[in-house]
Amino acid sequence: MTEILKSLEAILSQGYNPSNIFNDWLDLMLFAMQRDDEPYLDIVKKYKNDNEIGKREIDYFAKAFADLQIEMQKTNDDILGQIYMQWNQSTKFRGQFFTPSHVAGMMAKMLNPKGRILDPCCGSGILLIEAIKTMTNEELDKAVIVGQDIDLTCVKMCALNLLFFNVNGFVVWGDSLMMECKKAYETKRSYLGGSIRELKEEVFEKFKDSYNPSLQKIIEEKSILQTQKSEQLTFF
Q: What is the pLDDT of residues 156-195, one digit of tens each?
A: 999 999 999 999 999 999 998 888 999 999 999 999 889 9
Average pLDDT of the residues in 1-30:
95
Task: Report the distance separating Cα 170 and Cα 161, nearest Å.
Answer: 11
Residues 228, 129: one domain? yes
Same domain flag for 64 and 174: no
Degrees, nearest 5: CA angle 225-133-123: 65
The pLDDT of residue 174: 95
79 and 105 part of one domain = no
Task: Assess contact for 155 and 188: CB atoms under 8 A.
Answer: no
**pLDDT attached to residue 92:** 52
DSSP state of 99: P
Residue 63 per-residue DSSP state: H
Do 230 and 218 form a contact (C-beta atoms < 8 A)? no
Confidence of residue 79 (pLDDT cuts 50, 70, 90): very high
DSSP 233: E
pLDDT of 104-135, one tens digit each?
A: 778 878 877 788 899 999 999 999 999 999 99
Is residue 96, in this structure, part of any structural domain at all? no
Same domain for 75 and 128?
no
**Domains of the chain: total:** 2
Are residues 27 and 108 both part of a single domain? no
Provide the 8-state DSSP code for 117: E
DSSP secondary structure, 9-34, as one string: HHHHTTT--HHHHHHHHHHHHHHHHT
> Averaged over 126-153, what is the pLDDT?
94
pLDDT tens sequence across 48-57: 999 999 999 9
Average pLDDT over residues 16-45: 97
pLDDT of 97 reads 62
- Which pTM was predicted? 0.87
Is residue 138 domain-shared with residue 213, that is, in the same domain? yes
Question: For the domain that residue 186 is a member of, what is the CATH number?
Answer: 3.40.50
169-173 vs 144-149, strand pairing mode:
parallel
